[in-house]
Structure 1
Amino acid sequence: MSNSADSPPGPVRRTFRHPVRVLTAAVFALAGLIFVTSANTAKGTNIRTDASLLKLSDLIQQRSEKNADLEESTSSVRGDIDSLAQRDNGSTKAEAARLKELERAAGTTELSGRALAVTLNDAPPNATASPGYPDPQPNDLVIHQQDLQAVVNALWEGGAQGIKVMDQRLISTSAVRCVGNTLILQGRVYSPPYKITAVGDPGALRKALDASPAIQNYLLYVKAYGLGWKVDEHRAVTLPGYSGTVDLHYAEPVE
């Protein structure tokens, strides 16, 4: 918009010539533009089914399935390498025992024993507040990353020898992350309910859960809005060994 000082003196004249013709020409020009744009976009393909327009959730699910296949292939190759190494390394019994202990501590081998399993779940779709509590907000009715981390941290604090989340073993570089209402763990995607299983003394593990302030806060939401919380003891559970890559992408060992 120009200032009055820049405007020419006197009234500004506007000429209106054949408004119907002008409007008709504009409509045809717009139609032509839409046609050309659509043709350039499609390029002979079906826009509705073009792979580039897949929902992000579909793409994430495809990547998750591909990562699962790659993980299985990696595990098989790693098993072959370990077998060859044990056959050809000529190590002493003490060295072999030390290697097994390091593998156990790293979480790359199976681990069996008594266990405690914790299952968390979103509130039911028709959840309402219990008497005495305010009406829930959307974030009050779903599992968050902090809830999963609180359980994992408490189980480690309780002396867990090994932990798996869903069907994957945790190691020192594992990160439990949530995006929306889904869990992303080591390149794979999971939906609730979420199950966390720890091998160790069930009594000590349960005591650690009860002592966690973060879990006590979560249990308030369980009572108020019906979030899922279930703890089960198992006499014998076998956790799988971690089978993914152990390469560091964002860190380097200290010299």
Structure 2
Amino acid sequence: MPDRTHRVVHKVSRGTLSVALVLALAGMMFVANARLAQGTDERHPQNLADLATVEEARVARLQGEVVTLHSEVDQLTAKQARLTGLQIGSPGAGYDVAAGKVAVTGPGITVSLTDAPAEARNLPKVHPDDLVVHQQDLQAVINALWAGGAEAMSLMDQRVISTSAFQCIGNVLSLQGRRYSPPFVVRAVGDPKKLRAALAAAPAVQIYLQWVDAVGLGWKVTTAQDPLNLPAYEGLTELKFAQVPHGVEVLPGLSAATSGAGS
């Protein structure tokens, strides 16, 4: 007859081993969770939308710090210049405006682009991409306005300069770490008649206007009744991967104007 005592001891040993294994795994999980949450009680985003919102807030905070630091650097530079007797001046108002270093106020126009209405989805032979404002549409408007003599420009609430870059993901605009939904508003300071004429003459804008008629994409051009107020540019202005070709004038006509003013 088999030894019953041996069977009981064997069962207890196996049960004890199982419990120990579960406790060990549980302990490892607690340690892992503690390490992940170490040093913070904040809730972490669980999806891309939440992550984008968190990062957008971080970018806004850092941009605010950058503006403050820029102001401090300017003040310290001016103070050092006074102490040493150095004369630090600007190359000229035209350069400051073109670089976005200063806010600009003046006459101009506002251009608004927005997605087609929801009922446009029922039109025959229409694809979803046909119903939204694309990156190239905004680029077409901005390039046309530059060609029309715009002195300064903004996209949404941010100043746009010659080196500004933005990206459209679906119908969401990403510009300097911030996200915007349509309608997308471009404001340009300059001669309203010349700016309107430049928009009408731009081939890429004409293509967009064909889709305005076909599917109802939003398009509105308004001459500002009051002077437009455009903020200064808050992004980086240093070029790392581009340079002006030899012999190309950066701001045509500015040199002659500067020479005339100095004579």
Superposition RMSD in Å = 2.9
Tell me if 1:107 matches 2:100.
yes
Q: 1:246 aligns with which of 237, 250, 254?
A: 237
Q: Give, in whole Å, the separation in 2 of the partners of 1:60 and 1:226.
A: 30
Q: Give the direction of change, closer, same or farther, for the CA distance of 1:253–1:229 in structure 2 (3 Å limit).
A: closer
Greater relative contact order (CA < 8 Å, ≥ 6 in sequence): 1
User: How is 1:1-255 mapped onto 2 (pairs within 5 angstroms)?
Assistant: 51=44, 54-89=46-81, 90-92=85-87, 96-98=89-91, 100-127=93-120, 134-234=124-224, 235-248=226-239, 251=241
- What TM-score do the two structures reach when normalised by structure 1? 0.72
Moved over 6 A (4+): none
Q: Assess, with a 3 A threshold, how the Cα gap between structure 1 residues 147 and 253 changes in structure 2: closer, same or farther.
A: closer
Distance in structure 2 (CA, Å) of the matches to 1:203 and 1:98: 30
Rounded Cα–Cα distance in structure 2 between residues aligned with 1:252 and 1:245: 14
Contact 2:106–2:189 at 8 Å: present in 1 too? Answer: yes
Task: Quickly say closer, same or farther: Cα 1:128–1:56, change in 2 above 3 A.
Answer: closer
Structure 2: where are the runs of 5+ without partners? 1-24, 35-42, 247-263
Q: Which amino acid aligns with 1:62?
A: V
Taking a change above 3 Å as real, the CA distance of residues 99 and 212 of structure 1, as seen in their structure-2 partners, is closer
Q: Which runs of 5+ in 1 are unaligned?
A: 1-35
Number of aligned positions between the proteins:
208
**C-alpha contact 2:97 2:151 (8 A) present in aligned 1:** no
Output one character per residue of 1:10-67: Cα deviation in whole Å (capped at 9) or x when no partner.
xxxxxxxxxxxxxxxxxxxxxxxxxx9xx97xx669xxxx836x22122122212211
Deviation, 1:230, is 0.8
Which sits farther off after the overlay, 207-216 or 57-66? Answer: 57-66
CA contact (8 A) 1:122 1:141 kept: yes
In the alignment, the residues of structure 1 paired with residue 213 and residue 230 of structure 2 have an alpha-carbon distance, to the nearest angstrom, of: 31
Confirm or deny: 8 A CA contact 2:99 2:237 kept in the other structure. Answer: no
Q: Does the C-alpha gap of structure 1 residues 91 and 171 become closer, same or farther in structure 2, counting only changes over 3 Å?
A: farther
TM-score when scaled to structure 2?
A: 0.70
Compute the displacement of 1:174 (Å): 0.9
Shift of 1:87: 4.1
Counting aligned pairs with the same residue, the percent is 43
